[in-house]
Structure formats: structure tokens, C-alpha cells
Chains A and B, each alone.
Chain A
Amino acid sequence: MTTAFLLLPLGCYVVERIDVEEEEQLVGRYMIRRILQFIPVMFGTTFLIFAGVFSLAGDPIRALSGDRPIPASAVAELRDEYDLDDPLLVQYGKYMGILVDDDTGERSGLLTGDFGVTLARSPQPVRDVMADKIPVSARLAVFAFAIEAVIGIFAGVLAALRKDSFIDTLVKVSTVLAISVPIFVLGLVAQYAFGVELGILPVAGLQEGFRSYIMPAFILATTSLAYIARLTRTSVVENNRADYVRTAKAKGLSPSRVVGIHTLRNSLIPVVTFLAVDLGTLMGGAIITETIFNIPGVGREVFEAVTRQDGALVVGIVTFLIVIYMIANLLVDFLYAVLDPRIRYE
């Protein structure tokens, strides 16, 4: 999954070579520069997160054994296995695959594509855990993303065009409600109403495939949906007063063309910015939704890994999330130019 995302921009670069105009070369250079920027960001963030987990107080091996202690031999062996007695930089070096691991005598780590194993009674390759959890979270996030983008923008435009009408008031009131009611309240109420009382959607879990995602995706999307509706509304209202819209109207363009091509395109810039940042949040920050609806996703996994002080798993998943953030941001920067002719790449 990760490599697919990394290759994506490169693939686009190849597309660029086919179309030979001088502007495209600029875009190509811009893109390469952006991708090169990924590298220091990756190192910096992985190190910061690794150091953060490292600095947590308490002994993760002791916590593994819980109330019933395990003998010193076993503790020593586990500490050694996870390199917990090394200084921070050495641990990080081993994790990244810069330093040689004493146990195997080989260099193997993040840089060689080895994400390590989880810190648990039954350790598993971090790669397997990610392969398990990321598709689940991705499905939930994409679904929620689609919901908030489509409904949010539609509601915002509708409210802006019929400013101060009943619809506008409805959108304003319902978005305030959606933003102010905590997500777990919404989640639990929806779960009880649709899952238990009406029984039309599954209460929790993923047993029913696509249907299992409907309620959690809506709940997860709620807050952002409200923000997007409000953002769109404000932006469209403002642009409706702009000179170029007045000109377009004066030229006699049809109202749908004025809104669709002229107003909306320019109004979407703040919305698109928000959406891009939100994609990462939807992927990694859905802890509450995942817990309420018992969805085995990335958010919960990271949360549990942090409490377990499982550095390898935390860094592995967060690395993936960073890639998502960076790609989403890159995508947005390109979308700006599509949306607003005045934006250039230099």
C-alpha cells in the first residue's frame, strides 16, 4: 500500500513526459522537489515519534507480564530481544536499519523495508498488523471522506445560494449541533437507534461487509461535514459578491454555469485544503468511532501501541500516515491550480 502511494506521483511524472509543453517541465521540477522534501520529513518525524515512545516512563516488559511477574531470565531475554537496554540513538539506528542488530548480525529495519515486530506476548511482524488494519481504516476513511465532501459541499452551496432562507437556517443550526455534540454521544445514540431499536444496521463489527461501514462512516464524517458545509457556505457567499461573478452574470451566462464554473471553483480552495488535511485525520484519528463500533482500525491500534510502548508499531503506522498526509497535501497543491487560474508553480 505504502509503496503504491509512493509510486503514484512518479507515475504521473511519466504521464507528464508525454505531453511536452514547457509549463509541464516546471511542474515536473516542482514535483521532484516536493518528493525530495519527503525524505527529511520522514526521518525527522520517525525520529521524533520514536524518541517520544522511548521517553515514556515505565518498563514495557514489566507491563507485559502484568500482575503476575515473570522470572528475571525471561525479562532479560525479552529486553535483549527488543534492544530496550540500548541508548535512544542506537535503538533508533537499529530500528531504521542503519545499525547492525546483535541478534541476527544483519542490518534490517525501516530503510530495508522491515518494519520490525510488535512488542507483545505473541509478537507479530508490524507489516502484517499494518496490512490487517490499514485497509479497514482506509475503507472507513474513504467512505467518510466521500460523505463529508459530497454532502458538505452540496449543503454549503445550497445554503449560500438561498442565503437567509429556511434551508440556510437549517444548515446553520444543524452544523452547529453537529460540531457541538461530542462524537461518542452521536455514535452511541445512532448505534442504539439504528442498531438496536430499528435493527436496520449492524450494531458493531465488520461481519456484514459494506453495511457495517455505513453508520461508522457517517458518524466519523459528521464533524468535518459540518465544517465543510460552513466553509463552503461562507466562501460561496463571499465570492458571489465578487466582480468576476457579477461580470459573468452580466454576460448573460446561465445561473448554473455562473455557480458551477465561476463561483464554486474559486470557493473550493479553502474547502479542498481542509479536506486534504482531514483525510489523514480520518485515517489515523478515528479512535472513538473505531471503539464504539468495534472496528479494528489504525487509530485504535496506534493508541494501544502507545500505551504498550510498542515503538516499532507506532512508528510503522505513523510513517504510513505521514505518507498519506504528504501525498494529500501534494494533491491539494495541484488542485489549487486547477481551481484557481491565478495560482502558479515556481
Chain B
Amino acid sequence: MKLSSTRFLRLLAALMALSLIAAACGSDDDTAADGDGVSTDTEAPSDDEPADEPADEPADEPADEPADEPADEPATDGERISTFLVQPESLTPINNTESEGQQVIDALFTGLVDVDADNQLIFQHADSIVTDDNVVFNVTLKDGWTFHDGTPVTAQSYVDTWNYGAYGPNAQSTSAQYAQIAGFGDLQCGTAPDDEGNEVADCDGAPPAAEALSGLEVVSDTEFTITMAEAVPFLTTQMKASAFLPLPEAFFADPAAYDRMPIGNGPFMMAEEWEDDVQILVDTYPDYQGDDASQISGIEFRIYADVNTAVTDLVAGNLDIVNGVPPEVWDDTIAQVPNSALSADSGINYLGFPDYAPPFNDPNLRAALSMAVNREDITEGIFNGLRAPAQNFFSPVIPGYEEEVCVEWTFNPEEAQARFAEFGGLDALGDSLDVWFNQGGGHDLWIDAVITQWEQNLGIPADNVTFQQLPFAEYLELADTQQLTGPYRLGWGASYLHPQYYMVLALQLTVDEGGNNATFWRNDEVDANIEAALATTTLEESIPLWQDAMQIICENAPLAPMFFGQNTYAWNDGVDGVFIDAFGVIDYEDLTQG
């Protein structure tokens, strides 16, 4: 019964080993194919449209026949500029709200408006946007713009896209952006009772009443009107958000396929399909009509799991640009990389106090906790000076920003102690304090510093503090459903640069109302100021009203701003003209080969 010596078993073992090796070798051939994107991309563009032949040239031919370049084209010799990217969630503009996807979307698309390097609004595809009453907007488009597949960008493109985005069952993540356009409610799913008898949204049982926004009307190929449900003075500014970009016919035919290789109308076009966790390659679009045309041949968005790896690649000279260099490696990085810069970002990090969870409904306690934190110590000590201390909820890039709003948001240990005593001191606080934040964002360091300052300045023993560190999904759910029991961390960043985006969406409306106010603190005076601000016709008129609202919020301190984000970026000599805007996106039109 012994088997050991039979030839069969040897054969079997050899066979299995061989097939394992074969499997490995077989897949090795794949690597060669998808490993070196640069050499294989000659064939990639030929897959799509035969029409855009000239588009293939810039990237592919620099080495062989530079003489082939058309004379009137910008100098697009050379390789693509490579830049660090985190894997985006989606490349479809109306389905993307995160900054990673925005990096690519900004390269692929150009909307009606944009902001310049000084954060001033400029018209791009819009020739004019006219309104008398902030209710009806008449938009005319510049003629002759085309999508990367050659089809024209018309008023219909915009209207179709916004209708699709607003339609509830399409579940697009930007759909809240259309909420003020007339008829939005008719595109939402109805409600039906769930098992417990609560009315919840239910698209199958109660489909939307309409498929198109009644507020959108196409006048001609280059003109359409937008009717809002109520006066919206910031609509033109809001159009910077990616929800308001146009999408081509190809999107509606197959949204899933489109997301892998989006066809935009911007200065760059996809060179090949998005390779998950590896790269997104874009080339200059030769027929681009906008003012911000590319001066380079293309961009290689190299996707990294960890920014530290990207920094190492930057230092080794394998990568051109990295934004978001972590504070702890900043000094080392700028010592080894020839160029670096800082610029203001729209982001803010803050500590919120749940108004529904006593004792945090006491303004004295909230003010004491806010005033006891030396924000400068944190930005210097923890962030190496690469964040800016925040004493306002409006970020510095938002119109109406002031450095200081009121004493409650300013470091003042004496006053903090007084307010803490007024609240009732440690006895009233009890001997446990929960501090909530999400895992994985590196927040533990600075929150630890905040707790140390509370100990120093208020005498709250750090031993009494419990870190409630949770995965993001779990954390957000607790925040939305009023289950936090102490100070919590959240952040906010702009989709468009207007006070309304901060005041209404982050501070006023709760999650159920379409905002992100997790303190659940509301105040009639604030609401009245917001209403008045929204009733004005110009931004200048509204700014004092926004500032008044912020003043009231500051005095009540339902939350405490901690620090503003900054773009911390470095780049190698292969590229010039690197500037990163308030949205954390490179201004691609300024890039040149170094």
C-alpha cells in the first residue's frame, strides 16, 4: 500500500508544480502589457474615435519624429507630467464629491465658470449669465466647444446632465446641489412606511413624479434658462461645483463604462482607461476652445495607497509633483526636492459640541473648552507650521473671512477658567469626558494635544478623557443620529467659494435637511441673518449679514474651529508653474515642462 515510490506521485507533484509555475509565467506576460503604460498607449487611443487622430500625436511621438508636430499647436513635446493621486471614487463629475476625483475632473472638464488663482470668479464656457431677480438665470454659451469625442457641447448637454443628476433613483452623490432649482422635489422618490411604520424614501414603491427639472429650459443650442424655486444669489458662484458640468451623449448610453473613461470638454482627454490603483493618463485635447489650454503634452496621475511612498518617489526623482506632503516629513522633503510651496486650502478642521448631550448644551462649557486651546501651539507643534490656526469657521479663501470673530474662538486661558468656573467646573463636568473622532485620518495626535491643553488650562485630568476612535462609517452614523456624548472632530471643505457653503450647509442644516450640522444647535437669530443674506442681490451686500450670523455662532460656540488646511506641495525640476488652488487642485494651465 505504499505510494511513495510510485512514478505516479512524482508525476503528480511535478505536474502541479509545473502548472503553478505556468500560471505564474502566464500572468507575467500580462505585466509586460499593463506594466509599461507609456509604450503600449500607442494602440490605446485608436480604440475609441478615429476622428481625433491629431490627439494621438503629442504623447506618442516626442522621441521619434518631433518634426511632425503641427506648427500652430502649443509645444507639447516631452513626457506627461506625473503627479500624486489617491484612488478616486468616481470620475463622473455629477457623482463625485471628493477631492481626489476632482483633480482629474478638473483636467477633463471645463464648466460654465471657474475661479482664478486669486479665487475670483471667471466665465469659461458661459458667455454670459444674466439675472434680474436671482430667480431666473439666462445662460448663453460660447460657440464651437466640443467634447473629446467630437460632439458639440450644447445647452442641451447641460440640461440633460443636471436632470440626470437631480433624478432621485439615479442616486448621484452631487444631487443635493440642484436642490434649489424649480421642480427638484418632483424628481425625488416618494416615501412609504417601513417595518416600524416610519416614513422613509422608497424609490420602487413611490417613483418620482417627473424626470426633468421644470426649472431648466433650452432656448437654443447656445442658450438656456434656469428658474430657481426661490432667489439664489450665489448660483453663479455655485456653478463652479462639478455638479454643473456638462456630460456628452456617451454618458447617458452607459454611465458605468463612461466612468472608466470619461469624455469631457476640458483641456485634457483620457489617453486610456482608468487603471484602478495604478494610474490615470490624460493627454492634451488639441481642439480645446477655452482660455486655460494646456501647455504640456499630458498628465500622468499616479495612484498611491500612501502619500509617504509618493514622497519617496518624488525624492528619488521618479515623480514630478506631490501635494499633501505630510508635516512630519516636510522638512526632509524640501531639503531634498528642488521646489516647494504652501498655499491656502478651503478646508477646516473643528471640534463640535453635541448640543443634545448635556452638559454640552451649556455655552459656558463650550466656550471654556474652545478658549483653553492654543491653536497656534497645535499648528506649530503638531503640524510643523503647515496648518493655519483657525479662529473663524469661514476659511481664509471665503469672501467675508476675518481673522478673529469673537473671544470665544480665541485662545485665552484666564477667560477660559472663568467660564469653566461659571459652568460649574469639574464637578459639573463629571469625571469622564468622551472625545470622538474617526480612525485613519491621523487625528489622534492633535486631539491628544488639545486634551493636554484642557488639562493645563482647565484642570480637566487627561486620565478622565476617553478617546472614542471609530471607523468612518460608524462614526458618521453616530454623529447623524445624535449619539455622540462629547466633543467630536469633523472637517469641511468647499465645492465653491461662497459663505453660504459654510454657513448653511455646515452650520445650519442638519443631515436630514441636506446639511452637515452634527451639533444640532440652532438659533433663530442666525436663521434670520441667513435668510436676510440670501435675500440680497450681491455678494457685497450679503457679507455683513453672513458675518453677523457667524458672530452669533461664535458667541454661543456650538463648535470650536481648530485649524485651516494648507496645500503642502513640492515638485522636481521637470516641471514649472506649479500652483495648487483653494480646492487642492493643480492649476493645470500654468504647468510647463521645466
Chain A interface residues toward B at CB < 8 A: 1, 4, 8, 11-12, 15-16, 19, 21, 23-24, 26-27, 56-60, 62-78, 80-81, 102, 120-124, 129, 132, 135-136, 138-139, 142-143, 191-192, 195-196, 199, 202-210, 212, 290-294, 296, 300-301, 307-309, 331, 334-335, 337-341, 343-346
Contact = CB atoms under 8 A, between A and B. Distances in A.
Given A64-B173, A74-B168, A80-B204, A58 B477 contact: yes
B168 A77 contact: yes
Contact of B173 (A19, A121, A138, A331): A121
A297 B321 CA distance: 24
Given A62-B473, A74-B172, 11 more contacts: A19-B7, A63-B476, A64-B173, A69-B515, A74-B168, A121-B173, A136-B31, A207-B35, A292-B309, A334-B16, A340-B4
Given A77-B189, A292-B306, A122 B90 contact: yes
Contact of B316 (A21, A60, A195, A334): A195
B276 A132 contact: yes
Interface string B61-97: 0000000000000000000000000000111100111
Contact of B203 (A24, A77, A129): A77
Contacts of B305: 290-291, 294, 296, 300
A24 B8 CA distance: 8
Contacts of A1: 23
B31 A206 contact: yes
B514 A139 contact: no
Contact of B8 (A21, A77, A341): A21
A296 B312 contact: no
Contact of A192 (B19, B36, B312): B312
Given A67-B516, A77-B203, A206-B31, A58 B171 contact: no
B27 A138 contact: yes
Interface in B149-203: 168-173, 175-176, 179, 188-189, 200-203
B95 A204 contact: no
Contacts, number: 258
A66 B98 contact: yes
B35 A191 contact: no
B13 interface: yes
Contacts of A63: 472-473, 476
A300 to B, nearest CB: 6
Interface residues of B, number: 93
Contact of B4 (A75, A292, A341): A341
Nearest to B476: A62
A202 to B, nearest CB: 7
B304 A204 contact: yes
Contacts of A72: 188-189, 200-201, 512
B320 to A, nearest CB: 14
Nearest to A192: B312
A276 to B, nearest CB: 12
B309 A74 contact: no
A203 B440 CA distance: 24
Contacts of B480: 62, 69
B256 A73 contact: no
Interface in B362-387: none
Nearest to B501: A68
Contacts of A56: 471, 473-474
B493 interface: yes
Given A67-B492, A290-B305, A294-B309, A337 B200 contact: no
Contacts of A291: 305-306, 309
Given A12-B16, A291-B309, A344-B1, A67 B173 contact: no
B275 to A, nearest CB: 8
A207 B1 CA distance: 53
Contacts of B312: 191-192, 195-196, 203-204
A24 B97 contact: no
22 contacts: A23-B6, A24-B6, A69-B515, A71-B179, A72-B188, A74-B170, A77-B168, A122-B256, A135-B31, A142-B21, A191-B309, A199-B316, A203-B316, A204-B309, A204-B310, A205-B313, A206-B278, A208-B36, A293-B309, A308-B473, A334-B16, A341-B4
B97 A196 contact: no
Contacts of A346: 1
Contacts of B359: none
Contact of A71 (B92, B97, B176): B176
B20 interface: yes
A59 B477 contact: yes
Contacts of A205: 278, 302, 313
Interface of B: 1-13, 15-16, 19-21, 23-24, 27-28, 30-32, 34-37, 89-92, 95-98, 168-173, 175-176, 179, 188-189, 200-204, 208, 256, 259-260, 276-278, 302-306, 309-310, 312-313, 315-316, 318, 440, 470-477, 480, 490-493, 495, 505, 511-512, 514-516
Across the A-B interface, the 3 shortest Cβ-Cβ residue pairs: A73-B168, A58-B474, A58-B473
B259 to A, nearest CB: 4
Contacts of B493: 67
A73 B168 CA distance: 5
Given A132-B276, A206-B31, A121 B15 contact: no
Nearest to B17: A331
A290 B539 CA distance: 49
Contact of B201 (A67, A73, A122): A73
A338 B4 contact: yes
Nearest to A187: B309
Contacts of B4: 337-341, 343
A139 B31 contact: yes
B36 A207 contact: yes
B151 to A, nearest CB: 22
B276 A139 contact: no
Given A65-B97, A69-B515, A196-B312, A60 B2 contact: no
A122 B514 contact: no
Most chain-B CB neighbours within 10 Å: which of A59, A74, A77? A74
Contacts of B474: 56-58
Contacts of A71: 168, 175-176, 179, 188, 514
B347 to A, nearest CB: 10
A65 B481 CA distance: 16
Nearest to A19: B8
Contacts of B276: 124, 129, 132, 296
A263 B440 CA distance: 50
A331 to B, nearest CB: 5
Contacts of B310: 204, 294
Nearest to B510: A69
Given A203-B312, A341-B5, A12 B12 contact: yes
Contacts of A199: 316
A208 B512 CA distance: 49
Given A12-B12, A74-B168, A142 B20 contact: yes
Contacts of A331: 13, 16
